Amino acid sequence: MTVFLRELRKTYEATAGTVTALDGVTVGFEQSTFTAIMGPSGSGKSTLLHCAAGLEQPTSGTVTVDGTVLGELGGNELTRFRRDRIGFVFQDFNLVSSLTAAQNVALPARLAGRRADAAAVTAVLDGVGLADRAAHRPSELSGGQQQRVAIARALFAQPAVVFADEPTGALDKATSHQILTLMRRMVDEHGRTIVLVTHDPVAAAVADRVLLLVDGRVTDEMAGADAAAVADRMTAMERSW
Ligand SMILES: Nc1ncnc2c1ncn2[C@@H]1O[C@H](COP(=O)(O)OP(=O)(O)OP(=O)(O)O)[C@@H](O)[C@H]1O
Protein backbone atom coordinates (compact mmCIF):
# COMPACT_ATOMS: atom_id res chain seq x y z
CA MET A 1 0.00 0.00 0.00
CA THR A 2 1.61 3.28 -1.08
CA VAL A 3 -0.47 5.48 1.21
CA PHE A 4 -2.41 4.37 4.26
CA LEU A 5 -4.55 6.58 6.47
CA ARG A 6 -5.52 4.99 9.77
CA GLU A 7 -8.31 6.37 11.97
CA LEU A 8 -7.59 9.93 10.86
CA ARG A 9 -9.31 12.59 12.92
CA LYS A 10 -8.96 16.33 12.59
CA THR A 11 -10.74 18.88 14.71
CA TYR A 12 -10.47 22.65 14.62
CA GLU A 13 -11.19 24.96 17.51
CA ALA A 14 -13.36 27.69 16.04
CA THR A 15 -15.10 30.59 17.79
CA ALA A 16 -18.43 28.76 17.62
CA GLY A 17 -16.91 25.58 19.12
CA THR A 18 -15.06 22.50 17.94
CA VAL A 19 -15.41 21.55 14.28
CA THR A 20 -14.79 17.92 13.38
CA ALA A 21 -13.41 17.96 9.84
CA LEU A 22 -12.29 14.30 9.77
CA ASP A 23 -14.07 11.78 11.95
CA GLY A 24 -12.03 8.58 11.79
CA VAL A 25 -11.01 7.95 8.18
CA THR A 26 -9.25 4.67 7.42
CA VAL A 27 -8.36 4.16 3.77
CA GLY A 28 -5.47 2.97 1.63
CA PHE A 29 -4.23 3.93 -1.82
CA GLU A 30 -2.40 1.26 -3.81
CA GLN A 31 0.42 2.06 -6.18
CA SER A 32 -0.61 2.77 -9.80
CA THR A 33 -4.17 3.62 -8.89
CA PHE A 34 -6.25 6.73 -9.48
CA THR A 35 -8.71 7.61 -6.70
CA ALA A 36 -11.21 10.46 -6.68
CA ILE A 37 -12.64 11.89 -3.46
CA MET A 38 -16.04 13.54 -3.67
CA GLY A 39 -18.50 14.88 -1.14
CA PRO A 40 -20.54 17.91 -0.19
CA SER A 41 -18.89 21.23 0.57
CA GLY A 42 -17.38 21.11 4.06
CA SER A 43 -17.28 17.29 4.19
CA GLY A 44 -13.52 17.28 4.84
CA LYS A 45 -12.06 16.58 1.39
CA SER A 46 -9.34 19.24 1.45
CA THR A 47 -8.53 18.46 5.08
CA LEU A 48 -8.10 14.80 4.16
CA LEU A 49 -5.79 15.65 1.28
CA HIS A 50 -3.75 18.13 3.35
CA CYS A 51 -3.32 15.64 6.21
CA ALA A 52 -2.40 12.83 3.81
CA ALA A 53 0.19 15.09 2.13
CA GLY A 54 1.73 16.23 5.43
CA LEU A 55 0.63 19.84 4.88
CA GLU A 56 -1.54 19.66 8.03
CA GLN A 57 -1.21 17.50 11.11
CA PRO A 58 -4.14 15.26 12.06
CA THR A 59 -5.45 15.56 15.63
CA SER A 60 -5.07 11.79 15.90
CA GLY A 61 -4.49 8.81 13.64
CA THR A 62 -1.60 8.09 11.32
CA VAL A 63 -0.58 8.73 7.73
CA THR A 64 1.90 6.29 6.20
CA VAL A 65 3.45 7.11 2.83
CA ASP A 66 5.79 4.61 1.23
CA GLY A 67 6.33 2.93 4.63
CA THR A 68 7.10 6.17 6.49
CA VAL A 69 4.77 7.42 9.22
CA LEU A 70 4.59 11.18 8.67
CA GLY A 71 3.82 11.96 12.34
CA GLU A 72 7.13 10.39 13.38
CA LEU A 73 9.20 12.81 11.29
CA GLY A 74 10.66 16.02 12.69
CA GLY A 75 9.86 19.34 10.97
CA ASN A 76 12.87 19.36 8.65
CA GLU A 77 12.59 15.65 7.93
CA LEU A 78 8.93 16.09 7.02
CA THR A 79 9.75 18.99 4.67
CA ARG A 80 12.42 16.87 2.99
CA PHE A 81 10.17 13.82 2.80
CA ARG A 82 7.34 15.85 1.29
CA ARG A 83 9.64 17.37 -1.29
CA ASP A 84 11.03 13.98 -2.32
CA ARG A 85 8.07 11.62 -1.98
CA ILE A 86 4.84 13.62 -2.21
CA GLY A 87 3.56 15.70 -5.12
CA PHE A 88 0.76 18.22 -4.71
CA VAL A 89 -1.26 19.97 -7.41
CA PHE A 90 -3.43 22.96 -6.46
CA GLN A 91 -6.52 24.37 -8.13
CA ASP A 92 -4.81 27.70 -8.79
CA PHE A 93 -1.54 26.15 -10.10
CA ASN A 94 0.72 27.93 -7.53
CA LEU A 95 3.51 28.63 -10.00
CA VAL A 96 6.15 31.30 -9.33
CA SER A 97 5.33 34.07 -11.82
CA SER A 98 8.91 35.33 -12.27
CA LEU A 99 10.25 31.88 -13.20
CA THR A 100 10.01 30.03 -16.52
CA ALA A 101 8.17 26.72 -16.83
CA ALA A 102 11.49 24.85 -16.63
CA GLN A 103 12.61 26.84 -13.58
CA ASN A 104 9.28 26.18 -11.85
CA VAL A 105 9.67 22.45 -12.44
CA ALA A 106 13.24 22.54 -11.10
CA LEU A 107 12.43 24.73 -8.09
CA PRO A 108 11.65 22.02 -5.48
CA ALA A 109 14.91 20.23 -6.31
CA ARG A 110 16.84 23.49 -6.11
CA LEU A 111 15.21 24.36 -2.77
CA ALA A 112 16.38 20.95 -1.57
CA GLY A 113 19.92 21.98 -2.50
CA ARG A 114 20.14 19.69 -5.50
CA ARG A 115 21.01 20.50 -9.06
CA ALA A 116 18.09 19.78 -11.37
CA ASP A 117 19.38 18.06 -14.46
CA ALA A 118 18.28 20.13 -17.49
CA ALA A 119 17.63 17.05 -19.61
CA ALA A 120 15.41 15.59 -16.87
CA VAL A 121 13.45 18.86 -16.63
CA THR A 122 12.95 18.85 -20.41
CA ALA A 123 11.88 15.20 -20.30
CA VAL A 124 9.19 15.81 -17.68
CA LEU A 125 7.93 18.90 -19.57
CA ASP A 126 7.89 16.79 -22.72
CA GLY A 127 5.80 14.22 -20.83
CA VAL A 128 3.08 16.83 -20.27
CA GLY A 129 3.33 18.07 -23.87
CA LEU A 130 5.15 21.32 -23.08
CA ALA A 131 8.74 20.80 -24.26
CA ASP A 132 8.35 23.84 -26.53
CA ARG A 133 7.16 26.08 -23.67
CA ALA A 134 10.06 25.48 -21.27
CA ALA A 135 11.27 29.08 -21.48
CA HIS A 136 7.80 30.63 -21.06
CA ARG A 137 6.70 32.33 -17.86
CA PRO A 138 3.27 31.49 -16.35
CA SER A 139 1.73 34.72 -17.73
CA GLU A 140 2.71 33.55 -21.22
CA LEU A 141 0.86 30.24 -20.79
CA SER A 142 -2.83 29.29 -20.84
CA GLY A 143 -4.52 27.98 -17.68
CA GLY A 144 -4.30 24.41 -18.92
CA GLN A 145 -0.63 24.82 -19.80
CA GLN A 146 0.07 26.30 -16.37
CA GLN A 147 -1.61 23.33 -14.71
CA ARG A 148 0.46 21.00 -16.87
CA VAL A 149 3.62 22.76 -15.63
CA ALA A 150 2.35 22.29 -12.06
CA ILE A 151 1.79 18.58 -12.77
CA ALA A 152 5.29 18.30 -14.24
CA ARG A 153 6.65 19.99 -11.10
CA ALA A 154 4.74 17.55 -8.89
CA LEU A 155 6.05 14.57 -10.86
CA PHE A 156 9.66 15.71 -11.23
CA ALA A 157 10.98 14.11 -8.03
CA GLN A 158 9.28 10.77 -8.90
CA PRO A 159 7.03 10.96 -5.82
CA ALA A 160 5.27 7.96 -4.31
CA VAL A 161 1.94 9.75 -4.68
CA VAL A 162 0.47 12.90 -6.20
CA PHE A 163 -2.42 14.61 -4.42
CA ALA A 164 -4.49 17.02 -6.51
CA ASP A 165 -7.02 19.40 -4.94
CA GLU A 166 -9.59 20.31 -7.61
CA PRO A 167 -6.92 20.56 -10.32
CA THR A 168 -9.49 21.26 -13.03
CA GLY A 169 -11.66 23.60 -10.94
CA ALA A 170 -10.35 26.72 -12.67
CA LEU A 171 -10.34 25.29 -16.20
CA ASP A 172 -12.91 25.06 -18.99
CA LYS A 173 -14.39 21.74 -20.03
CA ALA A 174 -12.04 20.96 -22.93
CA THR A 175 -8.93 21.92 -20.96
CA SER A 176 -10.14 19.91 -17.95
CA HIS A 177 -10.49 16.91 -20.22
CA GLN A 178 -6.87 17.30 -21.38
CA ILE A 179 -5.61 17.51 -17.80
CA LEU A 180 -7.62 14.48 -16.69
CA THR A 181 -6.46 12.46 -19.70
CA LEU A 182 -2.88 13.41 -18.85
CA MET A 183 -3.33 12.27 -15.23
CA ARG A 184 -4.95 9.02 -16.34
CA ARG A 185 -1.98 8.38 -18.67
CA MET A 186 0.46 9.03 -15.81
CA VAL A 187 -1.21 6.21 -13.87
CA ASP A 188 -1.63 3.77 -16.77
CA GLU A 189 1.69 4.28 -18.54
CA HIS A 190 3.99 5.42 -15.75
CA GLY A 191 2.58 3.63 -12.71
CA ARG A 192 1.89 6.85 -10.80
CA THR A 193 -0.45 6.95 -7.83
CA ILE A 194 -2.94 9.83 -7.89
CA VAL A 195 -5.55 10.98 -5.36
CA LEU A 196 -7.83 13.70 -6.66
CA VAL A 197 -10.43 15.82 -4.88
CA THR A 198 -13.17 17.00 -7.20
CA HIS A 199 -16.77 18.23 -7.33
CA ASP A 200 -17.09 17.12 -10.94
CA PRO A 201 -18.57 13.66 -11.68
CA VAL A 202 -16.88 13.75 -15.11
CA ALA A 203 -13.49 14.17 -13.42
CA ALA A 204 -14.27 11.49 -10.84
CA ALA A 205 -15.24 9.03 -13.57
CA VAL A 206 -11.65 9.11 -14.86
CA ALA A 207 -10.55 7.49 -11.59
CA ASP A 208 -10.49 3.76 -10.80
CA ARG A 209 -12.31 4.34 -7.56
CA VAL A 210 -14.47 7.10 -6.12
CA LEU A 211 -14.68 7.64 -2.35
CA LEU A 212 -17.58 9.62 -0.95
CA LEU A 213 -16.94 11.69 2.13
CA VAL A 214 -19.81 12.96 4.30
CA ASP A 215 -19.28 14.76 7.62
CA GLY A 216 -15.63 13.68 7.76
CA ARG A 217 -16.31 9.98 7.14
CA VAL A 218 -16.00 7.77 4.07
CA THR A 219 -19.58 6.66 3.56
CA ASP A 220 -19.44 5.02 0.16
CA GLU A 221 -17.09 3.75 -2.48
CA MET A 222 -17.56 3.10 -6.19
CA ALA A 223 -15.25 1.29 -8.58
CA GLY A 224 -15.13 1.94 -12.30
CA ALA A 225 -18.22 4.17 -12.28
CA ASP A 226 -19.08 6.38 -15.24
CA ALA A 227 -19.98 10.07 -14.83
CA ALA A 228 -23.74 9.41 -14.83
CA ALA A 229 -23.44 6.80 -12.08
CA VAL A 230 -21.26 9.12 -9.98
CA ALA A 231 -23.71 12.01 -10.48
CA ASP A 232 -26.66 9.75 -9.51
CA ARG A 233 -24.92 8.62 -6.34
CA MET A 234 -24.04 12.20 -5.41
CA THR A 235 -27.64 13.33 -5.94
CA ALA A 236 -28.99 10.44 -3.86
CA MET A 237 -26.49 11.21 -1.12
CA GLU A 238 -27.31 14.92 -1.07
CA ARG A 239 -31.03 14.12 -0.85
CA SER A 240 -30.55 11.87 2.15
CA TRP A 241 -28.12 14.30 3.73
N1 LIG B 1 -8.64 26.23 9.61
C2 LIG B 1 -9.88 25.89 9.94
N3 LIG B 1 -10.47 26.33 11.07
C4 LIG B 1 -11.72 25.95 11.42
N5 LIG B 1 -12.47 25.13 10.68
C6 LIG B 1 -11.95 24.65 9.53
C7 LIG B 1 -10.65 25.00 9.10
N8 LIG B 1 -10.39 24.37 7.91
C9 LIG B 1 -11.50 23.66 7.63
N10 LIG B 1 -12.44 23.83 8.59
C11 LIG B 1 -13.76 23.20 8.64
O12 LIG B 1 -13.60 21.81 8.50
C13 LIG B 1 -14.64 21.26 7.69
C14 LIG B 1 -14.05 20.56 6.48
O15 LIG B 1 -13.43 21.52 5.61
P16 LIG B 1 -12.75 21.13 4.22
O17 LIG B 1 -12.17 22.37 3.64
O18 LIG B 1 -11.87 19.97 4.42
O19 LIG B 1 -14.04 20.65 3.38
P20 LIG B 1 -14.17 20.36 1.82
O21 LIG B 1 -14.95 19.10 1.71
O22 LIG B 1 -12.82 20.39 1.18
O23 LIG B 1 -15.05 21.58 1.36
P24 LIG B 1 -15.17 22.31 -0.09
O25 LIG B 1 -15.73 21.27 -1.02
O26 LIG B 1 -16.15 23.40 0.17
O27 LIG B 1 -13.81 22.77 -0.46
C28 LIG B 1 -15.55 22.44 7.34
O29 LIG B 1 -16.63 22.45 8.25
C30 LIG B 1 -14.66 23.64 7.50
O31 LIG B 1 -15.43 24.78 7.86
167 CA → ligand 1 middle, Å: 18
Mean pLDDT for the stretch of residues 91-100: 96
Q: Which of 109-123, 128-142, 223-237 has the lowest mean pLDDT?
A: 223-237
Task: Return all residues near 13 (Cβ < 8 A) that are at least 6 apart.
Answer: 19
Q: What is the mean pLDDT of residues 191-207?
A: 95
Residue 187 binned pLDDT confidence (cut-offs 50, 70, 90): very high
pLDDT digits 0-9 by tens, 50-66: 999 999 999 999 999 99
Q: What is the DSSP string of the chain?
A: --EEEEEEEEEEEETTEEEEEEEEEEEEE-TT-EEEEE-STTSSHHHHHHHHTTSS--SEEEEEETTEEGGGS-HHHHHHHHHHHEEEE-TT----TTS-HHHHHHHHHHHTT-PPPHHHHHHHHHHTT-GGGTT--GGGS-HHHHHHHHHHHHHHT--SEEEEESTTTTS-HHHHHHHHHHHHHHHHHH---EEEE-S-HHHHTTSSEEEEEETTEEEEEEES--HHHHHHHHHHHHHH-
Name which residue sits closest to atom 13 of ligand 1, judged by CA. 21
Q: How confident is the model over 181-189, as a mean pLDDT?
A: 93
Work out the mean pLDDT of the chain and round it to a whole number: 94
Task: Give the residue, out of 22, 45, 166, with the most ligand 1 atoms within 8 A of its beta carbon, to mutate for a pocket test.
Answer: 45
Pocket test for ligand 1, best of 23, 25, 37, 43 (most atoms within 8 A of CB): 43
**The architecture CATH gives domain 30-58+73-240:** 3-Layer(aba) Sandwich (3.40)
Does ligand 1 come within 6 angstroms of the Cβ of 28?
no
Q: What is the mean pLDDT of residues 89-108?
A: 95
| Cβ atoms of 69 and 62 closer than 8 Å | yes
pLDDT at 228: 85
What confidence category does residue 153 fall into, taking pLDDT thresholds of 50, 70 and 90? very high
pLDDT of residue 241: 58
Percent of the chain with pLDDT over 70: 100
21 band by pLDDT with thresholds 50, 70 and 90: very high
pLDDT at 205: 93
Is there an atom of ligand 1 within 6 Å of 46 CB? yes
pLDDT of amino acid 232: 84
Residue ranges of domains in the chain? 30-58+73-240
